[in-house]
Amino acid sequence: MQARTFSSSWNNGNNNFYSGIDISATDVATPPDTWTRGTRSWQNDPAAAARTSIDASWGGGLDESSISRGGFYSALSAANDALFAIRKNAVVIGDAARTKRAETIAVLMQGASLAAISLTFDQGYIVDENTDPTTLVYSNRKQLRDAAVAKLTEAATLASATRSPRMRRG
């Protein structure tokens, strides 16, 4: 997605690596996912300048400006670990209400992480506490978006069902 949204003349935030889609007059009427990057291909090289930004967003670390990034998959992994503990290992965090709140926040973080991945990358992994890591396949941004919306909807449902009586209206 960055390739289709960012442009810069100097390389602010490595944007010149994310821009450069070749769009002809006839391409404008076609869906963006059919556009190509013929003149400026991705440099799949650990030494490439753009790798610092990508790696920091993907898994955490320092970006090209030495800013620490938590990483989308790091947040998703932490949420998955919490949900696995609560839902599969029956871990209780203080009491039932606190456990349900932690579960709700973990599902919210799954949705937020998947949404950020879908907005930033063309492909990514959809993983949750039930995923078998041996079956991972790349999903496109639309599949990531749909998974994010499903998780955010689940989080909203959990939050609505678990609000304390004094927080309920009416």
Tokens of 79: 């949420």
59 near 73, Cβ under 8 Å?
yes
Please give the Cα distance from 46 to 20 (Å, whole number): 20
Say what the pLDDT of residue 57 is: 67
Tokens of 19: 């821009």
Tokens of 80: 């998955």
Give all strands (DSSP E) within 24-84, no chain letters: 61-62, 68-69
Reported as a single tens digit per residue, the pLDDT across 81-126 is 999 999 999 999 999 999 999 999 999 999 999 998 898 888 889 9
Please give the Cα distance from 108 to 11 (Å, whole number): 33
Q: Once rounded to an integer, what is the mean pLDDT over residues 135-163?
A: 94
DSSP label of 89: S
pTM exceeding the 0.85 threshold for the entire prediction: no
- Listed in sequence order, the residues at least 6 apart from 5 whose beta carbon sits closer than 8 Å to its beta carbon are 18
Please give the Cα distance from 103 to 157 (Å, whole number): 12
